[in-house]
Amino acid sequence: MMRKALLLAACSTALVISGCGKDGGSGGSGAEVTNTEYPEQVFWGDTHLHTDNSIDAFGFGNRLDTEAALRFAKGEEVTATKGEKAKLSRPLDFLVIADHSDAVGATKALYEAPRIALLGNDFLLRWYDMMHESDEGSLAVTAELIDGAAAGTLPEGLFDPEESADRIKSLWTEHGEKLDEYNEPGKFTAFHGFEYTPMPGGDNLHRVVMFRDGGDKTGTMLPFASFDAGDPEQLWAYMAAYEKSTGGKVLAIPHNSNVSNGRMFAMNKLDGSPIDEAYIKTRALREPIVEVTQIKGDSESHPFLSPNDEFADFGDAGWDKCNLSCGKDMPPESYGGSYAREALKRGLEFTLKIGANPFKFGMIGSTDSHTSLATADENNFYGKHSGNEINNKDRALAPQNLGTRRGRFGWHYLSSGYAAVWATSNTREAIFDAMMRREVYATTGPRMQVRFFGGFDFTEDDTADLVKTGYAKGVPMGGDLSGGDGKAPTFLISALMDPESANLDRIQVVKGWVDSSGKSYEKIYNISWSSPDSRKVGADGKLDAVGNTVDLTKGTWENNIGAPELTTWWQDPDFDAAQNAFYYVRVLEIPTPTWPVYDALKFGLTLPDDVIKIQQERAYSSPIWYTPAATTS
């Protein structure tokens, strides 16, 4: 007991010392930010970035702190942990640093503690020496840490939150001050946040938690840890308590449902009891958006669930066999609770059955980078963690994962994604509020601009002034439609390519609905595509492929297929006014090379056949829900 106390005292001392740097910056940038009348601009950001304060990120070697992460996201050049000069091709507009709240700062503190404080604690001393000895040793410690946490075999009280409260308090304060210094309304938004990381049996139930507020409010509470509170309902209670005591606002973003073993969107509560109305209302309030694409795979859809969707397998390889820790196999029967499209359908089932929807969420992408570098471009990808940064030639083919080294290789990790937010200004308030109303979409990296409006009265001519008409006569992505007197809903949809990326292949609408027996269905409509004169929809409903211009020997593609912009009006041809439904948009780019192709060219590697070398990057909009007038949503 005393040894542990000594360690913790040492750790907190180390942190207090290293935390006594400069104090907060002075004043803001002066100019008041004016909100536009409606969201005119899409803002790009990453809501899920780890710095050296995350126990695993530091263990994996990351030595870049909060400030480096902020500077990089703003478009500045920073030196990556492994020495490369790193810079984004374009700045981001906002950033949420989401370090793991569990034992936040602990590996850094352990590493920086005086060794003498650990003599006598063989367990920690061994880790300490491994970390100091080599990068490999540090990786091994991190793997043991994650495996131990997943398996529940870490020494009891090792990172007891109460005992490390002082360390965490000073870290949280210092980190928050830095965020406030870098938050420049109208120019760059730095959000306070953390990641809540429960993983019962290695099943991922992680959430990013982000605040609308500054350090004056967030500093009154500590980030909520999962070690002793692994039920998301406990997190929601924490969020409610925060809002009540500070008057602030906070939301949570589930992610990596793909490695949750069916538990992220389960039909039951964590303890196995049935979901009830109170649970549904709380969940819908606290979790308005889900991160569906990121480094550890894509959670939008799976071919097992959507056999008629030839694009459903994006980012699934390597992630659908076993759970986060890879300690457990995931049978396909579990996928229903693991993928967002199926969850949206389950949400409709709940709506019919209980009158409320626990899975009424919008969709975003983010990186989950553990390098402090928010990268999602294929040709500028810094990897999952600092051991796999851009100058590691073995990273694409090396077996990965989290201790077990089973089934996952470097190339399974995606250079994905970003969060796109239609907001009235680049401020904490406007971006947060847009997330609450789900006026957001996900991309796997490219910054295509996607507009999606639903209403009952749009006509084909309305595409001429799509945005203004969209807001005037309908609702944007994330919104609700109800009533309509039996008229089939109409939609205005446009997608403009990323001017620094590839042309667009097509726009699709994904529709989900539920019949009166409570069974849910899905259908995919191809509604706009390039070269409509030559590309036709076949009898099977599938559209001719766009083609492929990728030159793997050069890592290039040509924008001589596809279209720079697709714009259309669409009306649901299969509408039944009595059925609850949702509609969301999927936009596909033409085929482009994946990051391992750029690695192969740079390092002279030969990639085996099973490595995915060509992909169609994409965007997923938040849905628009239709609810028959009689029921409530």
Partner 1 sequence: MKLLKEPLVHFLGGALLVFAFFWATGSNRDPADYEITIGESDVARLRTGWVQNFRRPPTQDELDGLIDQEIKEEIYYREALRLGLDRNDPLIRRRLFTKMRFLDNQEDAEDNPSDALLQKWLDDHPDKYALSSVYDLEQVYLGQDPEPSTLAQLDDLNQGTVEPNTIRQPISLPAKLVQTEASQITRQFGERFAAKLSTLPVGQWQGPVESGFGQHFVKVTAKIPGKAPALEDVRKSVTNDWQAAQTARLEEAAFGKYRKQYDIKVSGRE
Residues that bind partner 1 (CB under 8 A): 2, 5-6, 8-9, 12, 17-18, 21-23, 25-31, 67, 71, 90, 112, 114-116, 119, 129, 132-133, 162-163, 166, 181-182, 184, 466, 494, 496-501, 503, 559-560, 564-565, 567
Which residue carries 């139930």 as its tokens? 205
The first and second tokens of residue 361, run together, are: 């969420």
The first and second tokens of residue 407, run together, are: 């089934």
DSSP state at residue 489: P
Q: Answer yes or no: are the C-beta atoms of 43 and 198 closer than 8 Å.
A: no
The first and second tokens of residue 67, run together, are: 């400030």
Q: Answer yes or no: are the C-beta atoms of 265 and 359 closer than 8 Å.
A: yes
Cis peptide before 454 (omega within 30 of 0): no
Whichever of 157 and 486 has its CB closer to partner 1, that residue is: 157
CB of 562: closest distance to partner 1 in angstroms? Answer: 9
CB of 503: closest distance to partner 1 in angstroms? Answer: 8
Whichever of 182 and 359 has its CB closer to partner 1, that residue is: 182
Whichever of 251 and 466 has its CB closer to partner 1, that residue is: 466
What is the rounded distance in angstroms from the CA atom of residue 365 to the CA atom of residue 367? 7
Cis peptide before 362 (omega within 30 of 0): no
Q: Answer yes or no: are the C-beta atoms of 152 and 226 closer than 8 Å.
A: no
Whichever of 407 and 564 has its CB closer to partner 1, that residue is: 564
- Please tell me whether residue 467 adopts helix, strand or coil conformation: helix
Question: Quick one: three-class SS letters along 222-244?
Answer: CCCCCCCCCCHHHHHHHHHHHHH
CB of 500: closest distance to partner 1 in angstroms? Answer: 5
What is the rounded distance in angstroms from the CA atom of residue 257 to the CA atom of residue 324? 10
Q: Answer yes or no: are the C-beta atoms of 458 and 569 closer than 8 Å.
A: yes
Whichever of 90 and 536 has its CB closer to partner 1, that residue is: 90
Whichever of 163 and 429 has its CB closer to partner 1, that residue is: 163
Supply φ then ψ for residue 126, to 5 degrees. Answer: -60, -45
Whichever of 3 and 321 has its CB closer to partner 1, that residue is: 3
Residue type, 262: G
CB of 184: closest distance to partner 1 in angstroms? Answer: 5
CB of 620: closest distance to partner 1 in angstroms? Answer: 20
What is the rounded distance in angstroms from the CA atom of residue 505 to the CA atom of residue 566? 9
What is the rounded distance in angstroms from the CA atom of residue 98 to the CA atom of residue 196? 9
- Please tell me whether residue 288 adopts helix, strand or coil conformation: coil
Rounded to a whole number, what is the largest CA-CA distance in the chain? Answer: 77
Angle, in degrees to the nearest 10, between helices 165-182 and 66-73 = 30
Q: Answer yes or no: are the C-beta atoms of 352 and 512 closer than 8 Å.
A: no
CB of 11: closest distance to partner 1 in angstroms? Answer: 10
Q: How many alpha carbons fall within 13 Å on the CB side of residue 155?
A: 9
CB of 126: closest distance to partner 1 in angstroms? Answer: 13
* Residue among 376, 442, 389, 441 nearest 415 (CA): 376
Whichever of 6 and 205 has its CB closer to partner 1, that residue is: 6
Whichever of 133 and 277 has its CB closer to partner 1, that residue is: 133
Whichever of 188 and 382 has its CB closer to partner 1, that residue is: 188
DSSP state at residue 445: S
What is the rounded distance in angstroms from the CA atom of residue 620 to the CA atom of residue 514? 21
What is the rounded distance in angstroms from the CA atom of residue 67 to the CA atom of residue 73? 10
Which residues face 583 on adjacent strands? Answer: 511, 624
CB of 115: closest distance to partner 1 in angstroms? Answer: 6
CB of 25: closest distance to partner 1 in angstroms? Answer: 5
CB of 110: closest distance to partner 1 in angstroms? Answer: 12
Whichever of 558 and 576 has its CB closer to partner 1, that residue is: 558
Whichever of 29 and 268 has its CB closer to partner 1, that residue is: 29
Spatial CB neighbours of 628, under 8 Å, sequence gap ≥ 6: 482, 577, 578, 579, 580
CB of 254: closest distance to partner 1 in angstroms? Answer: 30
Residue type, 158: L
CB of 481: closest distance to partner 1 in angstroms? Answer: 24
Whichever of 112 and 515 has its CB closer to partner 1, that residue is: 112
The first and second tokens of residue 174, run together, are: 């210092």
CB-CB neighbours of 613 under 10 Å: 17
Whichever of 179 and 364 has its CB closer to partner 1, that residue is: 179
- Strand 94-97 relative to strand 189-191: parallel, antiparallel, unpaired? parallel
Whichever of 357 and 427 has its CB closer to partner 1, that residue is: 427
CB-CB neighbours of 246 under 10 Å: 17
Helix (H) or strand (E) holding 614: strand 614-615
CB of 296: closest distance to partner 1 in angstroms? Answer: 29
* Alpha-carbon radius of gyration of the chain: 24
CB of 2: closest distance to partner 1 in angstroms? Answer: 6
Whichever of 235 and 588 has its CB closer to partner 1, that residue is: 588
CB of 564: closest distance to partner 1 in angstroms? Answer: 4
CB-CB neighbours of 228 under 10 Å: 10
CB of 459: closest distance to partner 1 in angstroms? Answer: 17
